[in-house]
Amino acid sequence: MQHLIPIGLNHYLTISAFLLAFGLFAVMTRKNAIVVLMGVELILNAANINFLAFSKYNGGIGGVMFSLFVIVIAAAEAAIALAIVINIFKIFKSVDISSVDTMKE
Partner 1 sequence: MHSLIQLSIVVLLLPLLSFVILIFFNRRLPRRGDFVGVGILGTAFAISAYIFWTVIVQTYDPAFRVAWDFTWIDLGKVPGIGHLQIKMGIVIDNLTAIMLAMVTLISLLVHLYSTGYMAGDKNYGRYFAFLGIFTFSMLGIVLSDNLFSIYIFWELVGLSSYLLIGFFFEKDSAADAQKKAFLANRVGDIGMWLGILILYSQFHTFSFEQIYANLAAGKFAMSNAWLTAAGLLLFMGCVGKSAQFPLHIWLPDAMEGPTPVSALIHAATMVAAGVYFVARIFVLLTPDALHVIAFIGAFTAFMAATIAITQNDIKRVLAYSTVSQLGYMVLGLGVGAYSAALFHLVTHAFFKACLFLGSGAIIHAMHHEQDMRWMGGLRRHMPWTFATFTLATLALAGLPLTSGFMSKDAILAGAIGFANVEGGGIYYLIPVLGFFSAMLTAFYMGRQIWLVFFGESRTHLKPADNHHHGLDAHSAHDDHHDDHEVHEVSWNMRAPLVILAVLSVFIVYSPNPLDGAEGWFMKMIKTPATVVGPANHNCTALHAETPSPLMAEAFPAVETHGATDAHAVTGGEHAAATGEHAFADPRQAEIAHAAHAAHFPAIYISSIMVVFGISLAGIVFVFRIIDPDKTAEAIRPLYLFSLNKWYWDEIYQSTFIKGSVLLSKILSWFDTNVIDGIVNGVAVLVRNLAFANNSFDKYVVDGLVNFTAFSVNTTGAVLRKLQTGKVQTYVALLLVVLFGYFVFYFTRLIY
Partner 2 sequence: MFELPSGAEIQSIIATLNANIGFFIPEIYLSLLFMLLIVIDLVAKGRKNNLLSISTLIGLAGSIFFIYQQHHLPAGEIFFGMYVLDEFALFFKYFFVLAGMLAVVITMADEQFESEVKSMGEYYALIIAMVIGMIMMASSADLMMIFLSMELVSFSAFILTGYFKRNPRSSEAALKYLVYGAVSSGLMVYGFSLIYGLTAQTNLISISSEFSIHGYDPLLMILATLLILAGFGYKIGAVPFHFWAPDVYEGAPTPITAYLSVASKAAGFALLMRFFYIAVPHGGPVYEDILGINWVSLLILLSVASMIYGNVVALWQKNVKRLLAYSSIAHAGYILLGIIVMDAFGTQATLFYLLSYFLMNFGAFYVVILIANKTGSENLEDYRGLGKQMPLAGAALTVFLISLVGLPPTIGFIGKLMIFSALLAKGSIYLWLALIGIMTSVISLYYYMLIPLNMYLRESPGSEEKSMNPGLIANIIMAVMMFLTIYFGLFFQPLSDFAKYSSPMFGLKLN
**Binding status of residue 23 toward partner 2 by CB under 8 A:** yes
88 vs 71: CA distance, rounded Å? 25
- Encoded one letter per residue, x for contact with partner 2 by CB under 8 A and - for no contact, window 51-70 reads x-xxxx-xxxxxxxxx--xx
Cα 90 to Cα 94: distance, rounded to the nearest angstrom? 8
**What is the rounded distance in angstroms from the CA atom of residue 20 to the CA atom of residue 31?**
19
Neighbours of 23 (CB within 10 A): 21
Number of residues that bind partner 1 (CB under 8 A): 13
The whole-angstrom separation of Cα 42 and Cα 38 is: 6
Q: Which of 1, 4, 5, 28 binds partner 1 (CB under 8 A)?
A: 28
Binding site for partner 2 (CB under 8 A): 16, 20, 23-24, 27, 33, 36-37, 40, 43-44, 46-47, 50-51, 53-56, 58-66, 69-70, 73, 76-77, 80-81, 83-85, 87-88, 90-92, 97, 100-105
